[in-house]
Amino acid sequence: MIQTAPYGLSMSDLYLFNEGSAYHSYRFMGAHRLQLNGVYGVRFAVWAPNAAEVHIVGSFNDWNGGIHAMERIGTTGIWASFIADIGEGETYKYEITTRSGERLLKADPYAFLAERRPLTASVITDLNGFPWRDEGWVNSKEGRSAYTNPLLVYEVHAGSWKTKGKEVFLTYDELAAELVPYAAEMGYTHIELMPLAEHPFDQSWGYQITGFYAPSSRFGRPKQLMHFVDCCHERGIGVILDWVPGHFCRDNHGLRLFDGMPIFEGPDEKLADKPLWGTLAFDFSKNEVVSFLISNAVYWMEMYHIDGLRVDAVASMINLHMDKPREQYTWNKLGGTDNLDALRFLKRLNETVFHYYPDTLMLAEDSSAWPAVTSPTYLGGLGFNFKWNMGWMNDILRYMSHDPADRPQYHHLITFSLLYAFSENYVLPLSHDEVVHGKRSLLNKMPGTYEEKFAQLRLFYGYWMTHPGKKLLFMGGEWGQFDEWKDAESLDWMLLDYDLHGKMKAYVQTLNTLYVSEPSLWERDSDATAFQWIDVHNARQSIISFIRYGKKSFSIVVANFSRTGYASYRVGVPETGIYRTIMNSNEERFGGYETQHSLKFVSENVAWHGYNQSISLHLPPLSFQLLSYDLGDTH
């Protein structure tokens, strides 16, 4: 029998919350419209274990803290109350009297909606009743392995993909009408949205949060976001949410010193402070914090049908010294620098999410060398199913920034990643972080003339798309945004009126479509035996070639990173038969100078690169070619 607490709360739920196992705590914490003892109203519940008093203030009582007191529920640290005859749209905060007598006005940590910034009150909102139409999408995911299917992600900042004026953002509905068909047309399998949880400062990009359960009201209301996700699913596009469980912002109405004491953050300022970001770290040793955060992950999947989470700043979570000056160093109980509580939290997070949603995506944004990030927890791993490959990203962008004449001495930067490419399940990210703060856009990182920049970006994208690992590209990269990302402005859509930018978009669209349709590029992504170098050592000419094997087909990649072209460049091949060029970055329709769209090559009995057979290609400078061979196709 479930023991009932006051106001219809379950003592079992509150016990699990204190134990760190209430993984659906949003169902009873916060503000909920319900009927209690025959009366309709709103029940409020908030965790404030050190408070002397808690009152509810809001639009329904003229913000008068003397009217609606909350009751402490035993020793749970939770305060609750019921207010009759109020409902959706009312604004509120908790007025917390601390032990020292100070009065704090705090937004609800579990609020489902917040006022549009700069206002900071919480808004009573009912999330139930949205008419979801994505049953077919949900069913299609069941048992579908993410490892052996294409994953091509379009990373989007909702506040700057398109705007209607300064700080006039597209709504979730408008994004559904414009962004969703655009992403579908471009061939992406998923859209990844940078953090949408409510945040006060636009330029934090959503990474400094006050309302973890509230989709930002900048873009509309919660059911409008549900509509956006539903539209994505109708078009066969999954939705990944950038999720920030490592830290929170210091704004007074948020989680900092919530009841006058550090309850969401730890009591040790050196451990809690994130000086580089001006934020505070969650205290993962507290059970209630674990309940709050794991519930938040489950919440986005249950209430918004989110298909996966990109977990931000994992390296900063698990390393006590990362991004901190020496005077703020702390050590764990074993004398090491690992945050043992954070490691336990991440394992528990992934175990819980996959328990409820086994077909979801959990992607670690992790720059550390921590082993087995994408291995199951029962094998000692952290339990994610994918990890961003930051090493590959840093190496290849460094390589591409060098003038082609200098690249022979940096050849290792394009080959080293294959020494560890199968140690984790990787995503190859070309994200927002690489095109801000003076880093220049991807196009503008490329050296050389205007035309060479485009040729090299096409070459780079071809190499990226055929390298083992799933893919992610930040918005604007698909047409060669020339300026770095301006977070307060719309992307430079007018560039599509210029010939080479329009052709770059066509190239990326074609490359995306080819990737999704070519199983050899994703079917055995995690299988080291499905990759084979043809020629890895040709530093002198800055040319690499390799094979990607699928279950029933294989593809050959030839990439020339030099300014020297070859009328006849011989490449060893593993099978006798016909090889077809299915992608050539130098085609005229993409901005190059070749008009031939497809070529066939019959293998010759000329031993080359360790193979008995070879083909001879026309290999333009700064170019990428992809050739297909279907097993058994000999004519």
**Planar angle of CA 241, 247, 249, nearest 5 degrees:** 100
Residue listed under structure tokens 């700043």: 313
Residues 83, 91: Cα–Cα separation, whole Å: 13
Q: Which of 198, 365, 478, 525 is catalytic?
A: 365
Handedness of CA 485, 486, 492, 498 (dihedral sign): negative
Query: What does the H/E/C string look like for 126-194?
Result: CCCCCCCCCHHHHHHHCCCCCCCCCCEEEEECCCCCCEEECCEECCHHHHHHHHHHHHHHHCCCEEEEC
Residues 381, 387: Cα–Cα separation, whole Å: 12
Handedness of CA 34, 37, 41, 47 (dihedral sign): negative
Question: Which one, of 373, 507, 527, 504, lies nearest residue 444 by Cα?
Answer: 504
525 classed as catalytic: no
Query: Contact, 399 vs 414, CB < 8 A?
Result: yes
Query: Which residue type does 459 have?
Result: L
Residues 263, 47: Cα–Cα separation, whole Å: 9
Query: Contact, 190 vs 510, CB < 8 A?
Result: no
Question: Which one, of 121, 141, 127, lies nearest residue 60 by Cα?
Answer: 121
Axis crossing angle, helix 390-401 with helix 450-466, rounded to the nearest 10: 150
Residues 82, 43: Cα–Cα separation, whole Å: 4
Axis crossing angle, helix 172-186 with helix 499-517, rounded to the nearest 10: 70
Query: What does the H/E/C string look like for 38-51?
Result: CEEEEEEEEECCCC
Query: Contact, 333 vs 283, CB < 8 A?
Result: no
Question: Which burial class, exposed, middle or buried, applies to 59 when counting CB atoms under 10 A from its CB (0-12, 13-18, 19+)?
Answer: middle
Q: Which of 265, 312, 434, 587 is catalytic?
A: 312
Express the helix, strand and coil content of the chain in percent, nearest 5 each: 30, 25, 45
Spatial neighbors of 205 by CB under 8 A, at least 6 apart, are 157, 194, 195, 432, 487
What residues pair up with 72 in beta bridges, in sequence order? 79
Residues 153, 240: Cα–Cα separation, whole Å: 9
Handedness of CA 19, 25, 27, 30 (dihedral sign): positive
Both tokens of 622, joined, read 């700064």
Residues 618, 575: Cα–Cα separation, whole Å: 20
Say how far residue 417 (Cα) sits from the centre of its chain. 22
Spatial neighbors of 144 by CB under 8 A, at least 6 apart, are 359
For 588: left if phi > 0, alpha if psi spans -120 to 50, otherwise beta; the answer is alpha
365 classed as catalytic: yes
Residues 380, 388: Cα–Cα separation, whole Å: 19
**CB-based burial, 419-433: b 16+ in 10 Å, e otherwise:** eebbebbbbbbbbbb
Catalytic residues: 312, 365
